Structure 1
Amino acid sequence: MNNLSIATLMEQSGVKFGTSGARGLVEAMTDRVCFAYTHAFLDYLHAAGLIEKGDAVAFAGDLRPSTPRIMAAVCKAIIECGYTPINCGFIPSPAVALFGLKQGIATIMVTGSHIPDDRNGIKFNRPDGEILKQDEAGIRQQRIELDETLFDGEAFSESPQLPAADGGARALYIRRYLDCIGSDALSGVSIGVYEHSGVARSILAEILEAVGAKVVRLGFSDTFVPVDTEAIRPEDVTLASEWSQAHNLDSIVSTDGDGDRPLISDERGQWLRGDVAGILCADYLNARWIVTPVSCNSALELSDKFAGVIRTRIGSPFVIEGMQSLLQQGRTAVAGYEANGGFLTADRLLLNGSELDPLPTRDAVIVILAILMHARGQGLSISELVRQLPPRFTYSDRLKAFPTQLSQRMLARFQTGDPTEDGRAVEHEFNKVFGRVANIDHTDGVRITFAEGDIVHLRPSGNAPEMRCYTESVSEARAQEMNRVCINLLEGWRTK
């Protein structure tokens, strides 16, 4: 037995916690590393009194090539640690999370979400929902007794086999929606489902067909496609426009790789920004209190549709903490969403007039259904539905190979602790482009609101040497131009 420090293993392997689980290069996510991380997660839950030996632990995965091997390592750790594995197969992250909540068991999802398939990741869920930042810290601090005889170097000595998949979690997830929506709710609506390599592709088509929509399946891929709903690829923009015209579609819908972030287009094949989709979804579900990261579109507050809004740091754990805080204050009809469109529900909301049980983890299907039902109920196209919101447009991009230390030094110039000095520093860098500073928000990075209403938000990536830039203005063209200018400024700062 080897007494192994997880903190040390994270540093050595490079597989660390980011904004959504542990992620790393596939070559770094060896059998031994994935086994050890699962071991530490289970030990942490057991020490906290959240699980007992012999309990079931469910797991699932996405469709990238490395996922089955990592699922096998997760399953082996579950067995070796004294628990009972349930293989839920290849299903969306919110589906396995919902199964865990309903069964009161821990769950694990093997996925790299939207990132390229040279990387992968593992999401951990407690029996009561996603692990939060304090849980990540607890897992990182674990020391485990690792049986090194199971391994030949970093690989298993004998390759473990996955047990047969149990379809219960998949069926439960589908029933979550069909129990609320009638079989003819979307009759006459023509929907394109962009399948690519998303693990939700068959479930999404099945649900839409079951509620009466005419489904056209598009873009199926046997190889992994890194669809990022927050940074949509130019080729996906082109495809959506072409498909919309060719098939006379009311909308095209899709998700990222693990089905927790939605893509939905209007009738012209133009993709909605995730933070706009979140507002429309929350409105249809009659949510009253909204939690969302500071980077999301300010049309949320300007719409005057909600009782209150809490802005958080970027990442679902922070959104969940904000929702929990509202519930503790006695608030009801609480929901949250992220800029990527992933929607979280903290308590019961109404879908098509029926109560929907809470699912406090990112979900894509709820957003797609809510917007389609919202447009149908009002007799509007999706573009008309969007135009009912205040005209605020966001855009985001990132500058790669931007060293973390440089990011910290740069942002420190705008975070002196003196608002007046911060404003002067910002105006020195931006004044010739965007004008006077009205407000600076340091919730996560630096979010600057200028006197004319334009917004620039600079934030280092949580798990890569990148600087992210979010911009917001009164037109899409202006938001894009602002972003281009900011990226050029960042390039200049990087070379100084």
Structure 2
Amino acid sequence: MKFGTSGLRGLSTELKGNASSVFAAAFGLYLTRAGLAEEGQDIVIGQDFRDSSPDIAANCKRALSTLGFKIVDCGPVPTPALALYAQTLGAAALMITGSHIPADRNGIKFYRPDGEIGKADEQPILTLAEELRQSGFQAKDGCIASDRRAACEGLFFERNANILAPNALAGMRIGVFEHSSVARDLIKGVLSHFGANVVALGRSESFVPVDTEALSPEFIQCFESWTRDLKLDAIVSTDGDGDRPLVVDERGKPLRGDLLGLVAAKFLNAETVVTPVTSNSGIERAGSYTVIRTRVGSPYVIEGMSSALQSAAQAVIGFEANGGLLTGSDFVVHNHRLKALPTRDSFLPILSVLSQVASTGRPLSAISDSFRLPYATAGRLENFPIESSRKLMSYLQARVENVSCFLASVGAVESLSSADGLRIVLRDERIIHFRPSGNAPEMRCYVEAENEAAAEQLLSAGLTQILTWCAS
């Protein structure tokens, strides 16, 4: 069990046991000891559609009830909906989700009453969890929980129903790739509210891990056939817990998440943009805003937004390469105040980019191409041993000569950055970035090049080099 870029992750079998009770209780104790909550206050709990999530949620409810909290059960709802509802109540929250990772794993995302926990909160929670384990903590059986799913979903729908003008998407034919996303019904409702002709696609009653940054060839083939055969203007979806967007153009090609963030920045007239080092290098040139770069993970983006706000910045947003959009300040859209929501949201970037198609009459592919960003893509090696990741990164970060040797068949090294993983700029201006996942046995590789063919070739070469080095 460990904290990654966003939340706690581990094997489902572990979390279905006493581990989830212990960590939930540790979080509750942390809140009370830090003066962030008091016994008897509400605490909000939501979950995704993984098979293990109901059992883990039940453990968390019992543990927090044992500590004296009043349990507000929102059931299966999108993470940003849960965060918004908890923020409105001024309550802490837990979201039971493993996001996009395989079904044999799961996790817990924690929210203080003032928002998503930061990196400084993690170690105290881990320390309290260890103390509880050693003391033999056991949650009491049974707890009373109030069912607030309808209220939670209703509040999030209302927020999104005011982002665009009435009937802003009328005439558009939009597919919704439902799979096992907890956001699937809400996003269909929001798109229909704006007048879109919604076509439901690929609904699954068993959990399907959809990583919006590393889509499988099978998914791409489905997108291409759906857009062609059903004459769709776009396909939209999210990851499992609804905080990362997926937008596919009329040709069946997915748009990069950082491009969605860029479109949203322009839609909101943002003045400051906070985004990780893995987001496209062309973002700085694509707008008149100030760009702040961070490490990967929403806690770092939130920290960057907070620092900007403390420096009197206004109109502050953040987004990650996966497209999850965070609003650090309030914005006014169509005479409606959109309150700050400093946690990843998939709905706002989806609506932002679809509104551009409706208002300009241009297809998504043309809108995407108009930004003239370097072509970027990413891939991953799944079930990649964490120890192998450590050894590889230690070798690469030890000396520049090691990197040059590792990439000898790929290109000459111009510069390096180890701000998060290892980001390498080659002399021909291509970029390759190696980064182990923070909470799963995966090695990720991000690349940029002048065109799609060159980027795919660089990605393939990078992943092959990793496998070759580890096998040697």
Q: Which runs of 5+ in 1 are unaligned?
A: 1-14
Q: Deviations over 1:122-165 (max 9, x none)?
A: 111001110111111110111338996957xxxx8x57686544
* Aligned-partner residue type, residue 354 of structure 1: H
Partners of 2:119 and 2:299 within 8 A in 1? yes
SS in structure 1 of the partner of residue 6 of structure 2: coil
SS in structure 1 of the partner of residue 13 of structure 2: coil
Partner of 1:60: 46
Q: Deviations over 1:29-80 (max 9, x none)?
A: 1342111111100110111111111111111111111111111111112211
One of 105, 112, 124 as aligned partner of 2:110: 124
Matched, 1:18 2:4: yes
Partner of 1:280: 263
One of 301, 304, 326 as aligned partner of 1:322: 304
Partners of 1:286 and 1:350 within 8 A in 2? no
SS in structure 1 of the partner of residue 76 of structure 2: coil
Partner of 1:108: 94
Which piece of structure 1 moves more, 122-131 or 137-146?
Answer: 137-146
Partners of 1:180 and 1:355 within 8 A in 2? no
In 2: Cα distance, 1:478 partner to 1:166 partner: 47
Residue correspondence of structure 1 range 221-232 to structure 2 within 5 A: 221-232=204-215
Q: Deviations over 1:383-423 (max 9, x none)?
A: 1111111241112122345444443443344435xxxx62x
Partner of 1:38: 24
SS in structure 1 of the partner of residue 419 of structure 2: coil
* Aligned-partner residue type, residue 485 of structure 1: A
In 2: Cα distance, 1:24 partner to 1:413 partner: 27
SS in structure 2 of the partner of residue 206 of structure 1: helix
Matched, 1:473 2:461: no
Change (3 A) 1:465 1:117: closer
Partners of 2:40 and 2:69 within 8 A in 1? yes
SS in structure 1 of the partner of residue 132 of structure 2: strand
Matched, 1:299 2:282: yes
Partner of 1:453: 429
One of 411, 415, 420 as aligned partner of 2:393: 411
In 1: Cα distance, 2:248 partner to 2:383 partner: 32
Change (3 A) 1:439 1:195: same
One of 433, 436, 448 as aligned partner of 2:410: 433
In 2: Cα distance, 1:148 partner to 1:457 partner: 43
Partner of 1:443: 419
SS in structure 2 of the partner of residue 415 of structure 1: helix
One of 372, 378, 383 as aligned partner of 2:365: 383
Partners of 1:302 and 1:390 within 8 A in 2? no
Aligned length: 470
Partners of 2:238 and 2:244 within 8 A in 1? yes
**TM-score, normalising length from structure 2?**
0.95
In 1: Cα distance, 2:98 partner to 2:65 partner: 24
Which piece of structure 1 moves more, 40-49 or 238-247?
Answer: 238-247
Partner of 2:336: 354
SS in structure 2 of the partner of residue 186 of structure 1: coil
Change (3 A) 1:223 1:145: closer
Q: Deviations over 1:227-262 (max 9, x none)?
A: 110111222111111111122111110011100001
In 2: Cα distance, 1:126 partner to 1:56 partner: 12
In 2: Cα distance, 1:162 partner to 1:68 partner: 14
The CA deviation at 1:16 is: 1.9
Which piece of structure 1 moves more, 214-223 or 178-187?
Answer: 178-187
In 1: Cα distance, 2:144 partner to 2:51 partner: 16
Partner of 1:487: 463
Matched, 1:204 2:187: yes
In 2: Cα distance, 1:277 partner to 1:455 partner: 21
Change (3 A) 1:412 1:293: same
Identical aligned pairs, as a percentage?
41
* Aligned-partner residue type, residue 262 of structure 1: P
Change (3 A) 1:196 1:408: closer
Which piece of structure 1 moves more, 391-400 or 481-490?
Answer: 391-400
* Aligned-partner residue type, residue 494 of structure 1: C
One of 202, 209, 216 as aligned partner of 1:219: 202
The CA deviation at 1:283 is: 1.6
Q: Deviations over 1:315-354 (max 9, x none)?
A: 1111111111111111111111111111111001243453
Partners of 1:345 and 1:358 within 8 A in 2? yes
**TM-score, normalising length from structure 1?**
0.90
Q: Deviations over 1:165-195 (max 9, x none)?
A: 4421111111111133333111111111111
Partner of 2:236: 253
Partners of 1:195 and 1:221 within 8 A in 2? yes
* Aligned-partner residue type, residue 282 of structure 2: A
* Aligned-partner residue type, residue 335 of structure 1: I
SS in structure 2 of the partner of residue 253 of structure 1: strand
Matched, 1:399 2:381: yes
* Aligned-partner residue type, residue 49 of structure 2: L
Q: Deviations over 1:198-238 (max 9, x none)?
A: 10001000011111111111111111111110111222111
In 2: Cα distance, 1:55 partner to 1:186 partner: 41
Partners of 1:54 and 1:84 within 8 A in 2? yes
* Aligned-partner residue type, residue 124 of structure 1: F
Change (3 A) 1:54 1:161: closer
Which piece of structure 1 moves more, 46-55 or 399-408?
Answer: 399-408
In 1: Cα distance, 2:219 partner to 2:206 partner: 16
SS in structure 2 of the partner of residue 205 of structure 1: helix
SS in structure 2 of the partner of residue 252 of structure 1: strand
* Aligned-partner residue type, residue 315 of structure 1: G
One of 226, 243, 246 as aligned partner of 1:243: 226
Partners of 2:31 and 2:112 within 8 A in 1? yes
Partner of 1:6: none
In 1: Cα distance, 2:164 partner to 2:266 partner: 17
Partners of 2:164 and 2:351 within 8 A in 1? no
SS in structure 2 of the partner of residue 240 of structure 1: helix
In 2: Cα distance, 1:110 partner to 1:288 partner: 34
Matched, 1:372 2:360: no
In 2: Cα distance, 1:460 partner to 1:80 partner: 37
The CA deviation at 1:267 is: 1.4
Matched, 1:144 2:132: yes
One of 12, 15, 21 as aligned partner of 1:29: 15
RMSD: 2.0
